[in-house]
A and B are shown apart, each in its own frame.
Chain A
Amino acid sequence: MLVLIDKLPLSDWVNSFVNWLTQFTGFFNGITNFIGGIVNGFQWLFDLLPVWLFIVIVLGITYYATRHGKKWSLLLFELIGLLLIWNLDYWRDMTQTLTLVLTSSLIALVIGIPLGILMAKNHTFEAIMKPILDFMQTMPAFVYLIPAVAFFGIGMVPGVISSVIFAMPPTVRMTNLGIRQVPVELIEAADSYGSTSWQKLFKVQLPLAKSTLMAGVNQSMMLSLSMVVIASMIGALGLGTQVYFAVGRNNAGNGFTAGLSIVILAIILDRITQAFNRSKRG
């Protein structure tokens, strides 16, 4: 049937929708300034810290997070890995990438957790959100770059925004899942003693969903890290830019070292968030 019809003007429709949206420049400028502020804040902090202090802080955080089951090998790995990045002259690129990842994870968390809570509390909303989340995650990440550039120009901010869209679904999903997994009897117990919805949420549901939720946050963080190279195509600076350049110049060596730095950063972020998740009591 479809072959008998002319090609549907689907892409034209999307284009005109995007064009129509661009008239709200004030709104998009507001978002740009806000996110730009967060990015600059992180970057300012990382530029301020000398390398040795940065490493000490990372080791300190890891030490604290793994206090219930010391992992000296992880501390050693972090020390060597970070020193290697510094030695390869990728330090500033690494902090830029970290800025991008932290900013987009933070935003994904702040938007994603409330959405997950709403999904858990409302069946209709869950039914609407599920396909949207699937769509967000399966759409090739490159595609997000186009509207991001249209609305936010080039640089860190559109990079953050496309990573947020790409990385948020696991946080939303796992928040929803974690809350729904709380045993019925515990919900009944909370209700039968006269808890309000908020009390139930903060005293029972969220604490019990915490480890599932944190697994989602960890996944989101890893996904946003995987956006780093793609985001570099629209001018988000960092290790991704180095990889992108290396590809352009057909320089396998530089591509490898920049890629390795991303892997080191990924492992450090992954292990620290996982350790925080495990260190819960009870």
Chain B
Amino acid sequence: MVKKVEVKNLTKIYGKRGPRVKELIEQGKSKAEILEETGATVGVNQANFEVNEGEIFVIMGLSGSGKSTLIRMINRLIEPTRGTILIDNQDLMGLDKKGLREVRRQKMSMIFQNFALFPNRTILENTAYGLEIKGITKAVREQKAHEALELVGLHGYDDQFPSQLSGGMQQRVGLARGLANDAEILLMDEAFSALDPLNRKDMQDELLDLQAKMHKTIIFISHDLNEALRIGDRIMIMKDGVVVQTGTPEDILTHPADDYVKRFIEDVDRTRVLTVANVMIRPNTVNIDKDGPRLALRRMQENEISSVYVVDSERKFVGFADAKDVIKLIQQGSRDLKSVVQTDVPITHPDVAVNDLMDQLSSTPIPFAVLDDERQLVGIIVRGAVLGAIAGNEVTQ
């Protein structure tokens, strides 16, 4: 395995740092003790780790444990107090301003929690930013940016502005900006944390798909264990600026290094009793106020399903329509989709615990419709997905 990134003794002290702080760090004193004695905040305390080429390396920890500080030291957005960073065996700390800029341009792209898109630039111009500052000609960089946008599934938004896009789409642009640059290393600081559960899951899948094609080296920060387990090849857990454990997801689950890690795993699960919102998937819908039977059939054919959910213009739930009824309707030459909508569908709410649903779930063949407080259709529950999620949840306990 080729080492892409190597970090040795990387330390960041915020606030006043005298020789005393250095002494205390070397004595292995904790963040709290050092703050107590000197008033300095330890951001990261002598972190050591390596990231291999082509892997997704997830850094986890509670808020304030130093994750953002650490990832920003890897491209020196935050200047380390001490320590070494090697990228492809090149010492980053030895570089002057110009050398550092070159490394940032060629090797690393960063993707941010709140997307950090430039509001005054179009989607295409945002995506092309990295190429633009490298001095690539307009035609070439727009071509590449366009390709990157296609890659993350954004068609036809080139000339819009970030404020016109939803959060999930904005982060696709953030990802495209990173990919357009052709950097080998992606630094992602809680890149999906600002997204709602369904979008987050989509983006995780998207990232895994892309990774299968592109084999980037990805350093990904998360505070969500399930996310880490899902996408991480290896996981590193931090506490109070210190690295507590590094290993594969399997390692971490089976041999937690200490009580902190154990509790961390348990905490995450306990607060995350599986709810309907965690396991629901996106439904295929037609709009009763607008769409007719032919469109309904088309949608079913496209998605290879035998029924489709029916909502009104406000996404309020109406019922579902079965393929054979719709076909009959078309053969009769009727356009009245309403006449075949069935309303006897099991219904549930996003906050319901999945366990409470298990009995009903095994007795009805039709997926549950998940309606929020406004009776809008936000998702559906199919049996397979639930069983998978529960199995996953039990293993982590």
Chain A residues contacting B110 (CB-CB under 8 Å) are: 188-189, 192-193
Q: Given A192-B75, A194-B101, A194-B134, are A208 and B119 also a contact pair (CB < 8 Å)?
A: yes
Chain B residues contacting A186 (CB-CB under 8 Å) are: 116, 118
Q: Given A188-B112, A282-B161, are A193 and B77 also a contact pair (CB < 8 Å)?
A: no
**Docked complex Cα distance between A204 and B118 (Å):** 7
Chain A residues contacting B161 (CB-CB under 8 Å) are: 281-282
**Docked complex Cα distance between A112 and B204 (Å):** 48
Interface pair A194/B120, CB less than 8 Å apart? no
Interface pair A192/B109, CB less than 8 Å apart? yes
**Shortest distance from the beta carbon of A267 to any chain B beta carbon, whole Å:** 29
User: CB-nearest residue of chain A relative to B78?
Assistant: A188
- Chain B residues 119-151 with CB under 8 Å of chain A are 119-121, 129-130, 132-134
Interface string of A195-225 (1 = CB under 8 A from B): 1100100011001100000000000000000
Chain A residues contacting B130 (CB-CB under 8 Å) are: 193-194
Chain B residues contacting A195 (CB-CB under 8 Å) are: 101, 133
Q: Given A194-B130, A199-B133, are A208 and B104 also a contact pair (CB < 8 Å)?
A: no
Chain A residues contacting B120 (CB-CB under 8 Å) are: 207-208, 280-282
Q: Is B343 an interface residue (CB 8 A)?
A: no
Interface pair A193/B104, CB less than 8 Å apart? yes
* Number of residues on chain A facing chain B (CB within 8 A): 20
Q: Is A191 an interface residue (CB 8 A)?
A: yes
Interface pair B77/A192, CB less than 8 Å apart? yes
Interface residues on B, range: 20 to 34
**Docked complex Cα distance between A203 and B134 (Å):** 13
Query: Which residue among B109, B119, B133 has the maximum number of chain A CB atoms within 10 Å of its CB?
Result: B133
**Shortest distance from the beta carbon of B74 to any chain A beta carbon, whole Å:** 10
Interface pair A193/B129, CB less than 8 Å apart? yes
Interface string of B185-211 (1 = CB under 8 A from A): 001000000000000000000000000
**Docked complex Cα distance between A210 and B120 (Å):** 10
Q: Is A185 an interface residue (CB 8 A)?
A: yes
**Docked complex Cα distance between A208 and B103 (Å):** 26
**Docked complex Cα distance between A247 and B89 (Å):** 80
**Docked complex Cα distance between A191 and B351 (Å):** 41
Interface pair B105/A193, CB less than 8 Å apart? yes
**Docked complex Cα distance between A208 and B133 (Å):** 17
Interface pair A192/B163, CB less than 8 Å apart? no
**Docked complex Cα distance between A208 and B117 (Å):** 12
**Docked complex Cα distance between A181 and B116 (Å):** 14
Q: Is B170 an interface residue (CB 8 A)?
A: no
Q: Given A193-B104, A193-B105, A196-B101, are A188 and B116 also a contact pair (CB < 8 Å)?
A: yes
**Docked complex Cα distance between A188 and B129 (Å):** 13
**Docked complex Cα distance between A282 and B126 (Å):** 13
**Docked complex Cα distance between A208 and B162 (Å):** 14
Q: Is B284 an interface residue (CB 8 A)?
A: no
Q: Is B69 an interface residue (CB 8 A)?
A: no
Interface string of A22-65 (1 = CB under 8 A from B): 00000000000000000000000000000000000000000000
Q: Is B181 an interface residue (CB 8 A)?
A: yes
**Shortest distance from the beta carbon of A178 to any chain B beta carbon, whole Å:** 13
Interface string of B91-112 (1 = CB under 8 A from A): 0000000000111110011101
**Docked complex Cα distance between A132 and B109 (Å):** 42
Chain B residues contacting A204 (CB-CB under 8 Å) are: 118
User: CB-nearest residue of chain B relative to A193?
Assistant: B130
Q: Is B114 an interface residue (CB 8 A)?
A: yes
Chain A residues contacting B177 (CB-CB under 8 Å) are: 193
- Chain B residues 206-244 with CB under 8 Å of chain A are none
**Shortest distance from the beta carbon of B133 to any chain A beta carbon, whole Å:** 5
User: CB-nearest residue of chain A relative to B135?
Assistant: A199
**Docked complex Cα distance between A183 and B112 (Å):** 13
**Shortest distance from the beta carbon of B142 to any chain A beta carbon, whole Å:** 16
**Docked complex Cα distance between A280 and B121 (Å):** 12
User: CB-nearest residue of chain B relative to A200?
Assistant: B133
**Docked complex Cα distance between A192 and B177 (Å):** 12
* Interface CB pairs A-B, < 8 A, 19: A183-B116, A185-B113, A188-B72, A188-B112, A188-B116, A191-B104, A192-B75, A193-B104, A193-B130, A193-B133, A193-B181, A194-B105, A194-B130, A195-B133, A199-B133, A203-B129, A207-B118, A207-B120, A281-B120
Having A204-B118, A282-B163, one finds 17 other A-B pairs with CB under 8 Å, namely A185-B112, A185-B114, A188-B77, A189-B117, A189-B129, A190-B129, A193-B130, A194-B102, A194-B104, A194-B134, A203-B129, A203-B132, A207-B120, A208-B120, A282-B120, A282-B121, A282-B161
Which 7 pairs between the two chains have the least Cβ-Cβ distance? A194-B105, A194-B104, A192-B110, A189-B116, A185-B116, A193-B130, A194-B101
